[in-house]
Amino acid sequence: MIKVGVIGATGYTGVELIRILARHPEVEIVGVTSNNYAGAEYSDLYPSLKGYFDLKCEELHTEELIKKSDVIFSALPNGHAHQLANEVVAKHKKLIDLSADFRFDDLSVYEKWYGPVPSLDDRIKRVYGLPEIHRLDLKGANVVGNPGCYPTSVILGLAPALRCGLIKPEGIIIDSKSGVSGAGHSPTLNNLYAECNESIKAYGVARHRHTPEIEQELSYLAGSDIKVTFTPHLVPMTRGILSTIYCDLKDGFTIQSVRETYREFYSKEFFVKVLGDGQYPRTKDTYGSNNCHIGLAYDEHTGKLIIISAIDNLVKGASGQAVQNMNSLFGLPEDTGLDFPAIYP
């Protein structure tokens, strides 16, 4: 059994981790921490887990938790995982971090968007944890930077088009929409019911922190520098991300050949589903699952390839992908504990 510790277990990504890990056949959860709810029984905080997970939340004593765990999941805000990684790696354990702290190859990019990085242990072998793209790199990693939710939807949507040279790399436009849970568990004015119900709004326009993460991975796929226009929107639903991506299709390709390329690219991927002609993703069809649905269309009037992808921001966009990464790190089939369909309706 893989012994797991979860730091920051009472936020939305934390509770989603516990929901998945509690029924994982190869996992024993040995400790969960929460600054706000130390001493509380977890299933009292989240009654949906009564009978599935009943440990008490602990205060964070890093050394003790690392000692009894094989892998630590950190669901803390940005800026907390660097020192934690040093401690985890020093004890020859593994860390899967759900913040942005280990997503960037160039630390100067992280510092520009998030803040300073302390000195890191030379033994850290980090990888950007999108298994469909970096599966081989995961095998030797001891620190995984779990991708952001928006980037997951965008990168999976564009990966075949860029890797296989189907589109022009310039002028990519990304319109993404997310449910309110993407903003986290802590209440803020903008997330109050009266503020976001019956409304939709753009935010982080021309300056969202997921932009450099998206560009890093798309550039890796394309083998050249990629810049994108990315605009996220908040919509009044609990879960889900829908990304609509507009790009210029190169001459010589048809929508049929594009769809065939996508199906071949993802033919061995359990969690990525390429939809048929005239079928387009809905967030409802990925709700509660680790799946990504991708739909394709060609606008003959403008010559644009339109790529639409849908994920659950808390599962494939966060906690489910983190468990998928854990499975890969420990040599398990990636769908272990994750092979369940979406909740419908």
Residues with a known catalytic role: 149
171: left (phi over 0), alpha (psi -120 to 50) or beta: left
Separation between Cα atoms, residue 328 and residue 138, nearest integer Å = 7
- Spell out the residues 6+ positions from residue 70 whose beta carbon is closer than 8 angstroms to its own: 2, 3, 4, 93, 94, 330
Sheet bearing 94-97, strands edge to edge: 27-33, 2-7, 71-74, 94-97, 143-145, 126-128
Q: Nearest to residue 62, comparing CAs of 37, 29, 40, 95?
A: 95
Q: What span, in angstroms and rounded, lies between the C-alpha atoms of 339 and 270?
A: 9
> For residue 345, what are the CA distances in angstroms to 90, 206, 287?
46, 35, 9
Q: Using an 8 Å Cβ cutoff, are 262 and 166 in contact?
A: no
Cα 252 to Cα 263: distance, rounded to the nearest angstrom: 18
**Calpha distance 192→203 (Å, rounded):** 16
In the numeric block, which tokens belong to residue 139? Answer: 């095998």
Q: Closest Cα to residue 38, out of 18, 55, 59, 52? A: 59
At position 176, the amino acid (one-letter code) is: S
